[in-house]
Structure 1
Amino acid sequence: MATGLYIHIPFCLRKCGYCDFYSVLPEPGMISRYIRALLTELSLAAELQPGSLETIYFGGGTPSLLAPEQVAEILQVAGTCFKINQNVEITLEANPGTFDYQKVQGYREAGVNRISIGAQSFAPDLLQILGRSHTVQHIFQAVEYCRRAGFDNLNLDLIYGIPGQDEQALEDTLCQAVQLEVDHISAYLLQLAPETPMGRQVSCRQVEMLPEDMELDQYTRIINRLTRAGYHQYEISNFARMGKECRHNLLYWQGGEYLGLGAGAVGYLNGSRIKNYGDVTAYMTALEAGQLPLREELELVTGQDLWQERIIMGLRLTRGINFSRFQEQYGIDILSEFADVLKVCTDTGLMEISGEQMRLTRRGFFLSNEVFCRFLA
C-alpha cells in the first residue's frame, strides 16, 4: 500500500501569534540532538513495515532551519529503512528569510523536489499583525533562490481573513503571488485556537476578526483571481497548475496511510491515528535510551467513524464523492442514508448533485464545517 511519511521539525526562531502547531525556540545544540533522535525513531519505525513511500513531507515549525546535510542524512536513513517510490514527492516547508540560495541548492541536492514557502501575505502591516519575521522582499528572494536552484514545484502559503485586511490588500497579495508564477498556492482562512496569543486577543476584544460576509467575499475573490491566472482549485484551500497538486495532502484527503515522526507528529497506520507527545526534551531522552517516544492513540478509525471521516475528507475535494464507489467501498448508500441532509444542503446552495456525484459549491466550501456537522449528527 502506498504510504506517506510526515517528519515534524518543531523549531521556530519566533512563534507566530496565530499558530497552534507544536514548536519551541531551539537552544544551542538542540537541533543536532533532535536530528540524532529522529534518525533513531526512523530506524525503530522500520519495524512497522509500511508500504512504499510515495511522499515525504518536512513540516513544522520551520524545517528550513535545518542544514542541507541534516536533511540529506534524514532522507538517506529513510531510504535504508523503507522502500521509497522512484518518483517520490519530497516537500520541505521553508520560511522566507531563513534560507539563501546555497541552502536551498543543498536541499535540492539532498533529494527535496518541492518547496512550500510560508509567505502568508505581501502586505508589511499584515505580516506584522500575524507576527511573521520576514519581509515582502524575503518572499521574492525565496522564490528566486528556489527557481535558480532548479525547483519546478513551488507552493506559496497565503492567509486571508486577517484583521485589517481590506479588498485592496488582498488583491495586491494575489496579484504579486500570481506574478511569481509559482506552481501551487494554498489560501487558508485565518482561524484561531483560543489558546494562541491572537486567539486570546480576540477573546479580550483587543483584536477584531473580519465579519463572515467579508471573509466569504475574500474567499470568492481568491477563487476567481487564481482561476483566471490558470490555477485549478482541487480542494477547499488549494490551487495548482495541472499536475502540480500536492500528493502528500491528497494522501490525507483520500484516506491514505502515513507515518508521523518527530515530537508532536501525528500518523495514521492500520486504522489507528497516533500522536507523539509534543515534548522535545522527553522525545530526545526516550530515543537516546533506544526507546520509542511517548505517544497516544487519538482514535481507532473503524466502522461508522471511518465512513463518516471519508465523507468529510471526500467533500473537501472539488471533485466530491461518487455515490456508487462509496457504497462499494464502505457499504453505505449516501442517497438513502442521508436523504434529508442532501436535501437541506442542496436547497440552501451548499451542495450540488450531478448524476452519481455530490460536491460542495463555493459557498459550501466556505461553510464546509456546517455541512460536515450534518453528516456527523
Structure 2
Amino acid sequence: MHQSTYSLGCEQVTRLVTMLLLVSSLLLLFEKLDVPLMLVFLLVLFSLLLRWRFALNPRFFLIDAAVLVVVSYFQQDAVLLLGLYIFSFASRMQLVALTPFLAYALIKLPLPLALFPVLGLLLGLLVALWRKESDAVRREADELRLKVHRLQEEEQHLLLDYQDAQQLSRLEERNHIARILHDSLGHELTAAHLTLKALGSLLQRNEVEKALDSQAKALVRLENSLDQLKLAVRQLQRDDDTANQRFRQLFEQFNYPVDLHQSGDIEVLDPAVQQVLYSAVKEALTNIAKHAKPAMVRAQLAITGTTTRLMLENDGLFDQKNEETGNGLRYMRRRVEALGGSVSIQRDETFRLLITLPSKKEMG
C-alpha cells in the first residue's frame, strides 16, 4: 500500500511538471503557431497522453524524439518541443539518451529559447533526485517495518516457548507427584507386608492379642495405600484424558476436515516430547490455514516405545514465496532437533510435512 501510494505520488509530480512544460512551450510558440506546428504540438501531446494511459516500452520514447528531430528539419520551431522529451529522459536518469537531443536543441534554438530544454533538463534531474531520495526513504521504512514484523514474530514465538515451558513444567510436576505417590504406596505396602508376616509368627506362639493388634495395623496401612492408589489413579487419569483431548481438539477445531489415523498412545511419550509434538502440529495446521486452500488434509501419527512419527499432508496451493525456512517452520525445526528429532518437507502434487521424534527426551 505504501509503495503504491509512493509510486502514484511520483507519477503525479512528473505529469504535473510535464504539463507545465507543455503549456510553457505552447506560450513560447504562440506567436509562430500555424497549422503544421499545431499538428506537431497535438501529436506530441497525444504521445504523452498515450504513455500516461498505457505502460509502453521506454524505447518508443526515443523513437518519438527521433521523429521530432526529423520533423524539425521541415518545421524548425518544433525543436522547442524536444525539451519535453529531455525532461522525461532526465527524470529517469537516462543521460545517455538525452545527450544527443539536448545538444541538437542547443544548436538549433536561439537564445533565450535555448534555455527551455536546459530548464527541462534541470527539472528532470530534480525529479530524479527526489525520486531517488524517496526510494531510499521508502526502503528504510520497508526495512524498519520488516524488522518490526520479525520482532513481533519473535515475541510471539517467545510467548509460545513460555507457554510450552509452563505446560512442560506442569507435566513434569505431575510425573514427579506420581513418583512420590508410588514411593509412598511402596512404603505403606512394604510395611503392611512385614506386619502380616509378623502376624503369622505371633499366631504360632499363641500371642493372640499381639496378633490382633498387628492385624489392625496391617489393615490400616492397606486401607491407606488403597485410598492413595485410587486418588492417584483418578487424578492421573483426568490429566491423561486432558492431554489426549488437547491433541484431538487441534484436528477437530481446524478450519478444514482432517483425516486422522493414529496408532500408539500419546501418554507413553515423555512430557517434553508431548509438548513439542503438540506445538509442531499446531504450527503446521496454522500454516495450512494461512497459506493453502486444501480439498484434503491427512494426518498420520505413529507412536512406539522408541520413536514418534507424524505425517501431515494437504493438496492446497501454498504460496511459493514462502520458503521452507520461514519463521514458523524454523522454530518448529529448532524445537524438534533440540530433542533429537528431525523435520523434512516434500513438495510434489501435495505438501507433506514429516516429523520424527524420539518417544523419550534426548536433549542435545
With structure 1 as the length reference, what TM-score do the two structures score? 0.18
> Which structure has greater strand proportion?
1
Q: Which has the higher contact order (CA 8 A, sep 6+)?
A: 1
Which is helix-richer, 1 or 2?
A: 2
Q: TM-score scaled to structure 2, two decimals?
A: 0.18
